[in-house]
Structure 1
Amino acid sequence: MEILNPKLQVLTNQEVMQALRQIKDQKNSHSTRNLATITYETIQYLENTPCKDQTQENIENFIVEAQKFGRLTKSEVLTMINDPPALPLHIQLIVEDSEERLTETQVDELIELSKKYLHPNSTNTG
């Protein structure tokens, strides 16, 4: 993964974790103690979120399949990647005016896509 322009790039939590692990692995002598602390603490936090099990391929597959809903904004899709929805209420919190923009079937489909691609190690009891 390469961040071309960090001021303009929107990253998923999984991409942030990858970038921070690369920084940590480089152990550059120019790194400050503060950077090392921030890197360590952020990685520790992210390892307790769904992104720890996500892959770039699964994220890309989710994005492709979520495009069929056409009405989702990029920020809504990014939020779903970073905080995968598991319940219809979660979709309502992520998608503005979801009741008007998505049918119940589409909400269920989004939850199934989330389980399939963004929670790859969860058991599907659905």
Structure 2
Amino acid sequence: MKILEANAGALTNFEVLDFLRAKGASKDPTRVIAKVEQSEYKVYDYLVDTGASDQTRESINEFLTCIKRHDLAKAEVLNILNTRPASEVEIFPIIESCEGRFPDEEVTEIVELVTKTLPPPPDMKQEEITKSDEETATLKNEKEEISEDPMDTK
């Protein structure tokens, strides 16, 4: 890997992790084989436990292609890629003046785009996603039952 232009822009966590892997970083317990500095191993150890470890160039490229129609700054797109927000609440701190710039439907669209194109974070296993979906459906059903007829005394 060769640096073509210094300070050309910010890197995603995936790109940093990919660079460290290319340099030889791994979960090797001895860590004496690769030419990786101790500080780089600390970065590697952190990034391998984040969503960056499951991302691929294809998923990132698909996300970048789809996100272009939303008027987001490069830094906002980078933060979305690195943090992978799974709800509207997590988007608001990332996007500057989010309420004023985007209607609620567009914010929901961005979150759906993130969950559709980027893999889930490693700490959110499929069972947890399914369980969360089931709990949401149960709460929604209970709310609908309560709001149907509050005076009904079955």
TM-score normalised per structure 2: 0.68
Equivalent residue number for residue 47 of structure 1: 48
More helix per residue: 1 or 2? Answer: 1
| Identity between Structure 1 and Structure 2 (%) | 34
CA distance, structure 1, for counterparts of residue 108 and residue 42 of structure 2: 35
Distance in 2, Cα, partners of 1:55 & 1:98: 28
CA distance in 1: counterparts of 2:99 and 2:3, whole angstroms: 36
Question: Letter of the aligned partner of 2:57 in structure 1?
Answer: Q
C-alpha distance 27-6 of structure 1, shift in aligned 2 (>3 A): farther
Number of aligned pairs? Answer: 119
Letter in 2 for 1:43: Y
Distance 1:107 1:36 in 2: 40
> Which AA in structure 1 matches 2:51?
P
Segments of structure 1 that go 5 or more residues without pairing to the other structure are 29-34
User: Any idea what SS the aligned residue of 1:18 has?
Assistant: helix
Change (3 A) 1:116 1:6: farther
Q: After superposition, where does 1:16-55 map in structure 2 within 5 Å?
A: 16-24=16-24, 27-28=34-35, 35-55=36-56
Of the structure 1 ranges 116-125 and 49-58, higher mean CA displacement relative to structure 2 is found in 116-125
Give the Å deviation of 1:15. Answer: 0.5
Quick one: structure 1 residues 109 and 39, their matched pair in 2 at CA, closer, same or farther if it must change by over 3 Å? same
Structure with bigger gyration radius: 2
How far apart in 1 are the matches of 2:22 and 2:74?
Answer: 26
Higher relative CO (Cα under 8 Å, sequence separation at least 6) belongs to: 1
Distance 2:75 2:55 in 1: 18
Looking at structure 1, the residues matched to 34 and 51 of structure 2 have their Cα atoms a distance apart, in angstroms, of 26
Structure 1 contact 24–39 (Cα < 8 Å) conserved:
no
For 2:100, the equivalent position in structure 1 comes to: 100
The question of whether the paired residues in 2 share the 8 Å contact of 1:86 and 1:111 is answered with: yes
Unpaired segments of 5 or more residues in structure 2? Answer: 26-32, 137-154
